[in-house]
Amino acid sequence: MYHIGFDIGSTTIKAVVLDDENNICYRSYERHKAQARQKALDKIIELRKFTKEPFTFAISGSGAIGLCEQSGLPFVQEVFASAVATKKFFPETDCAIELGGEDAKILFFRGSIEQRMNSTCAGGTGAFIDQMAQLLNMSLEEMNEASLHYHRIYPIASRCGVFAKSDIQPLINQGVDKADLCASIFQAVVGQTITSLAQGRKIEGNLLFLGGPLYFLSGLRKRFQETLKLEDEQINCPDTAIHYVALGTALCADQEFTRESIEGTLEELVNTPVEMSESKPLFETKADYDAFVARHQSHDAKYADLKSYTGKAYLGVDSGSTTTKLALIAENGDILYDSYSSNKGNPLDVVLHDLKTIYDTNPDIRIYGAYSTGYGEELMRTAFHLDGGVVETLAHYTAAKKFNPDVDYILDIGGQDIKCFKIKDGHIDDIVLNEACSSGCGSFIETFANSLGYDAKEFAKLGLKSKHPVDLGTRCTVFMNSGVKQAQKNGATVEDISAGLCRSVVKNALYKVIRARNKDDIGKHIVVQGGTFQNDSVLRSFEQELDLEVIRPSIAHLMGAYGAALYAQKLHRTPSAILNREQLENFSHTARSVACQGCSNHCSLTINTFNDGTRLIAGNKCDKMIVTKSRHEDLPDMYKIKTQMFEDIKKKYHHEKKIGMPLVLNNYDLLPFWSRFFDSLGYEIIWSKPSTQETYQRGQQTIPSDTACFPAKLVHGHIQELIDQKVDYIFYPCMTYNVDEKQSQNHYNCPVVAYYPQVIENNMDMEETKFVSPFLSFDDEKTFVKAFCLHFEKAGIKFRKHDVQIALHAGANDYKLFHEQLRLKHQDAVLYAREHNLPMAVLCGRPYHLDPLVNHQIHQLLTQLGFVVLSEESVPRQQPHTTNVLNQWTYHARLYQAAHYVCENDDMHLIQLVSFGCGIDAVTTDEVKEILKASGKFYTQIKIDEVDNLGAVRIRLRSLKGAIEQQKEEEQHVH
């Protein structure tokens, strides 16, 4: 008897036919282009040629659940199918890794079978590699080939595809070698599999690689092999790797069918109209559509002929993350030349080509100013000798004003970024950029269109015809992928998916990024722009969602470049220094990556060298390597000061006997306490070193929850470091309660800070080291001493209660002194700032944001911009204020204090660092913002994670600085 197994995934359908002896007599692997049901029917009909009746049949895969529910056909869970196939064909396997279009799965066979799939948060891996390939403009084969010849691996966030993408983008912009990029991308996939899937269980023994990406990409397998340190004979990627689930399904199939019954059932399914929740179409009637088109045509920009133009011209270049935009304008603002091109991995070539075209069309063109903006602003400026750069927020505002002088809101959705600026009284009042988690919105539509076999424009047009757009939710693209899966499962049409995706992009922007509650939150005169709004379905969804008519200039996609050109016109009065035709001819450029030796951070730098000898160094976090820029290294910086104070304390005490402690989370606050405390008891603390990427990787394998905040996940690495040093004891107490600073209703730690030692204890192998972790609270001396002594006694050290009591007081005293000192330094910094008339930034977060790997040296970025940097910890004690939220955490109460303090000081500005995944900051950010808003202050929030993408942060901070300066100028006008 024949056995047929189908595996219907998110993008593909796989089929396997087995004969009596379980020999494979047919297999196939095809894309179904969202037509899963039809394809399944076609396949069954095709199989007439290969099978005899009766046969058994079963289906597996995420795309099959709905199908089986409706039809009653037997369903086999996909991981289960893989497990069965492995037991049958490769019984010696210890572990199987299967990467699919969007799923990542891991199976452990040793002991009881354990199966894991990627959690809701982790991005799809196959789809992710596809996306990256497109970003690099390479085919998968090329990527694979290139990856084998890499020299260097760059750290790329391994948590979810979207984050990884924002890590890769700057590398591409910096011109990093493609071979290195490809290998780094594969390495990210490996990292993701290890953290989000293995979750503390070691991947070892004999490994089976399954699924398309692993089967087709030997480079990816190589990364796995090297990372997991496996011998050649330990790994196996069978030729059935891509059909594996279907194979297992065929093995599991035990229900007999006749051809007629299956074909009948499937045919019926294809013809059944699917029940859908009613949703409003984008356009009810043709007339609606025509009115819409006519209205938007009225916002067309004017063009003039480049060839015959004799006046002064101004050039703007907007070097974005995925596209490069260029505009050349005449004195009256008419556009002489414009272009919008995909970077294809090398934005310099794009601009080079455009400039040549301009010179070729009009060799006598007189360019009187050329400015660049966007991610690649510096690269463009240096490469082509442009006259200046402008922060993109300002460029967009300048352009939008040209279309509506009253504009009070600009929303720009580009390939990867969402930017919104609120304008009040002629200056930028608020800036919202998308956080790492919801980026990729525009390019997502494109990628998705391609994966369904459509061209992006064609796909967008389909949405206009949709009768029932599907609801795909408002989270990051990874979730949308699953939403589409769901819709496909329900049999939604491509039209409905297209419209649904567009609506999601809009909702994402409104509810996730801007977090608008009603239209008054947005504004009355809205200008929308960016490539994504070129898509009429997106535009229409936006107007529908807000119930407002908005302006989309015909050059919506060029606004940054147009604004930069206008800016050049405003600021530049002499002929531009831009390369002339001849210089362009000789233009060439090489990129080389090095590790900076300037300090212990060893940032990875890219050195771009141009044919005229000009060099541009990108990727640096500080100014050390760049001599041309003015140096602000020496401005007071409380983050630097506190780090130095910590270093001093660490060197202060010396004893024979040592105790290891991780420098993580609340220990960034309590270090002065514990140092003196143990000194008093005759012990020296061996603190784990400040985090590096290596620290993180060291403990990565034991992290049980990949959605915990980055500072928490780092703890594993620190503990591992101490274990590897073979310290005898690691002391890391659980602290439900924090130090009571009498500024809040209660003085809790957050659950993660309070109880992370419990996670460590249960997930890490301590080897020879003893882990001492009592529950301690500073509120009650007696129980503190008792618990401390008890736990150490169990570990083999006997302390006398009285000694501990004395140590407790000594530690508390030093802790108090430390904070007083911080406040003194704070006051010095304020004095310095006022003497030199410098703006001050109160960089707020948690004590552990002092960790260099956590804060990404944002404080240095601020000093580079000319800010004196203060911290929330060093803010002098304020009068307690009432809050609108329950104020019961010590660290968080400091935030509210800092906010009030900033309100009282005109020359201070608050910037809040928020760790991704910090649930409590969902409460604090709103409250801090409200406190600041009540006093007319800017609120700037920066979300941080393991992603090291300072590009966006820099824009953010530069815009803030621009806004502050603008505000200042206006105030001077008034007086």
Partner 1 sequence: MYTKFTSDMKADHLILVPSMLPIHFKFFKPIFEKNGYHIEVLDTDNDNIREEGLAHVHNDMCYPALLVIGQFIDALKSGKYDLDHVALAITQTGGGCRASNYLSLLRKALEREGWDYIPVLSLNFSGLEKDSGVEMDLPLIMRTIYGALYGDALMWLKNQVMPYEVHKGETMRVIDEMVDELMVSFENGGYRKSKKIYRDMIDRMKAIERTKEPKIRVGIVGEIYMKYSPLGNQHLEDYLMQEGFEPVLSGVMDFVLYSIENGLIDYKYYHMHSKSWGIYQIAKDVVMRMQKTFRDAVKQDGTFVAPDDFSEVIRAGRPFIDPGVKMGEGWLLTSEVVSLIQSGVTNVIMCQPFGCLPNHIVAKGMTHKIKQEYPNANIAPIDFDPSASHVNQENRIRLMMANAKLNARMQEQN
Nearest approach, Cβ of 764 to partner 1 (angstroms)?
Answer: 9
Least CB distance to partner 1 at residue 340 (A): 32
Closest to 236 measured CA to CA, from 97, 346, 143, 364? 97
Taking CB under 8 A as the criterion, the residue among 38, 234, 265, 707 binding partner 1 is: 707
Calculate the CA dihedral of residues 371, 373, 379, 383 and round it to 10 degrees. -20
Instruction: Assess contact for 327 and 562: CB atoms under 8 A.
Output: yes
| CB of 355 closer than 8 Å to CB of 579 | yes
DSSP 663: -
Nearer residue to partner 1 within complex by CB, 584 or 787? 787
Structure tokens at 889: 């955490």
750 in contact with partner 1 (CB under 8 A): yes
- Number of other residues whose CB lies within 10 A of the CB of residue 863: 24
Q: Which is it for strands 427-433 and 418-424: parallel, antiparallel or unpaired?
A: antiparallel
Provide the residue type at 517 as one letter.
R
Q: Does 782 bind partner 1 (CB under 8 A)?
A: yes
Q: Which two tokens stand for residue 699?
A: 């403990």
Q: How far is the CB of 669 from partner 1 (least distance, A)?
A: 16
- In sequence order, which residues have a C-beta less than 8 Å from that of residue 680 and are 6 or more positions away? 803, 806, 807, 810, 811
499 binds partner 1 (CB under 8 A): no
**70 Cβ contact list (under 8 Å, min separation 6):** 269, 272
3-state class of 58 per DSSP? strand
How many residues sit close enough to partner 1 to count as binding (CB under 8 A)?
Answer: 76
Residues 112-151 interacting with partner 1 (rule: CB under 8 A): 112-115, 117, 119-121
For the four alpha carbons of 93, 95, 100 and 103, in that order, the dihedral sign comes to positive
Q: How far is the CB of 530 from partner 1 (least distance, A)?
A: 22
Q: What angle do CA 679, 681, 686 make, to 5 degrees?
A: 50
321/439 with CB nearer partner 1: 439
**Residue 43 or 489: which CB sits closer to partner 1?**
489
- How many Cβ atoms from other residues are within 10 Å of residue 643's Cβ? 16
CA distances (Å), 918 to each of 4, 712, 849, 892, 925, in order?
A: 48, 10, 12, 12, 11
Query: Looking at 72, 111, 405, 613, which residue binds partner 1 (CB under 8 A)?
Result: 111
Q: Which of 478, 385, 393 is nearest to 433 (CA)?
A: 393
Residue 176 structure tokens: 């990093």
902: three-class secondary structure by DSSP: helix
Residues 667-706 that bind partner 1 (CB under 8 A): 704-705
Kindly state the smallest distance separating residue 508's Cβ from partner 1, in Å. 10
Closest to partner 1 by CB, 267 vs 761, is 761
Length of the chain: 975
Neighbour count for residue 226 (Cβ, 10 Å): 13
Where in 801-840 is the site for partner 1 (CB under 8 A)?
Answer: none
**CB-based burial, 277-298: b 16+ in 10 Å, e otherwise:** eeeebbbeeeeebeebeeebee
- Chain centroid to Cα 419, Å, comes to 15
> Can you spell out the DSSP letters for 463-485?
HHT-SSPPP--SS-HHHHHHHHH
Least CB distance to partner 1 at residue 839 (A) = 29
Counting contacts by CB under 8 A, is residue 486 touching partner 1?
yes
Rg (CA), the chain: 30
Is 471 or 907 the residue whose CB approaches partner 1 more closely? 471
Alpha-carbon distance of 550 to 536, in angstroms, equals 12
- Give the nearest distance from C-beta 287 to partner 1 in angstroms: 29
State how far the Cα of 89 lies from the Cα of 832, in Å rounded to an integer: 73
Min CB(706)–partner 1 separation in Å: 9
Which residue in 433, 752, 772, 960 binds partner 1 (CB under 8 A)? Answer: 752
Contact status: 295 vs partner 1 (CB under 8 A): no
Site for partner 1 in 83-102 (CB under 8 A): 83
Distances (CA, A) of 603 to 94, 187, 595, 596, 699: 38, 19, 6, 5, 21
Strands (E), 465-557: 526-529
Q: Residue 231 has what DSSP assignment?
A: -
* Positions in 47-66 near partner 1 (CB under 8 A): 62, 65
From 77, 218, 341, 580, residue interacting with partner 1 (rule: CB under 8 A) = 77
Residue of 582, 586, 569 lying closest to 360 (CA atoms): 582
310 binds partner 1 (CB under 8 A): no
Distance of closest approach, residue 776 Cβ to partner 1, in angstroms = 9
Residue 750: what residue type?
C
The 10 Å Cβ neighbour count of residue 17 is 22
Which residue from 2, 215, 337, 479 is in contact with partner 1, where contact means CB under 8 A?
479
Smallest gap from Cβ 708 to partner 1, in A, equals: 4
> Which token pair is 233?
């004979």
| Sheet with 615-618, side-by-side order of all strands | 589-595, 604-610, 615-618
CB of 134 to partner 1, least distance (A): 24
Q: Which stretch binds partner 1 (CB under 8 A): 262-270, 454-462, 771-779, 813-821?
A: 771-779
Residue 751 CB, shortest distance to partner 1, in Å, is 4
Nearer to partner 1, 227 or 705 (CB): 705
Please state the closest distance from residue 789 (CB atom) to partner 1, in A.
Answer: 14
Q: For residue 511, with 0-12 CB atoms within 10 Å meaning exposed, 13-18 middle and 19 or more buried, which class applies?
A: middle
Choice between 75 and 384, CB closer to partner 1? 75
Enumerate residues 6+ apart whose C-beta is below 8 A from 388: 371, 372, 381, 568, 571, 572
473 binds partner 1 per the rule CB under 8 A: yes
- Indicate whether 35 belongs to the interface with partner 1 (CB under 8 A): no
Stretch 207-246: interaction string toward partner 1, x if CB under 8 A: ----------------------------------------
Which of helix, strand or coil describes residue 909? strand
Q: CB of 475: closest distance to partner 1 in angstroms?
A: 5
Binding residues among 351-390 for partner 1 as defined by CB under 8 A: none
Regarding 779 and contact with partner 1 (CB under 8 A), the answer is yes
> Which lies closer to partner 1 via its Cβ, residue 251 or residue 527?
251
Backbone angles phi, psi at 8, to 5 degrees: -105, 110
We find the least distance from the C-beta atom of residue 932 to partner 1, in angstroms, to be 16
Residue from 777, 857, 860, 941 in contact with partner 1 (CB under 8 A): 777
Q: Least distance to partner 1 from the beta carbon of 489, Å?
A: 6
Q: Is 1 among the residues that bind partner 1 (CB under 8 A)?
A: no
Residue 684 beta carbon to partner 1: minimum distance, rounded to whole angstroms: 28
Instruction: Pick the stretch among 233-241, 292-300, 561-569, 743-751 that binds partner 1 (CB under 8 A).
Output: 743-751
Window 717-736: residues binding partner 1 (CB under 8 A): 734, 736
Is residue 79 a contact point for partner 1 (CB under 8 A)?
yes
Q: Which of 92, 919, 933, 968 binds partner 1 (CB under 8 A)?
A: 919
State yes or no: residue 920 binds partner 1 (CB under 8 A). yes
In 3D, which of 404, 330, 400 has the Cα closest to residue 368? Answer: 330
853-892: contacts with partner 1 (CB under 8 A): 884-886, 888-889
- Say how far apart CA 214 and CA 219 lie, in whole Å: 9
Shortest approach of partner 1 to residue 240 CB, angstroms? Answer: 21
x/- track of binding to partner 1 for residues 514-553 (CB under 8 A): -x-x------------------------------------
Please tell me whether residue 917 binds partner 1 under the rule CB under 8 A: yes
Instruction: Out of 38, 763, 805, 878, point to the residue binding partner 1 (CB under 8 A).
Output: 763
Tell me if 505 sits within 8 A of 445, measured CB to CB.
yes
Q: Is 255 in the site for partner 1 (CB under 8 A)?
A: no
Residue closer to partner 1 by CB (options 51, 482) is 482
Nearer to partner 1, 476 or 568 (CB): 476
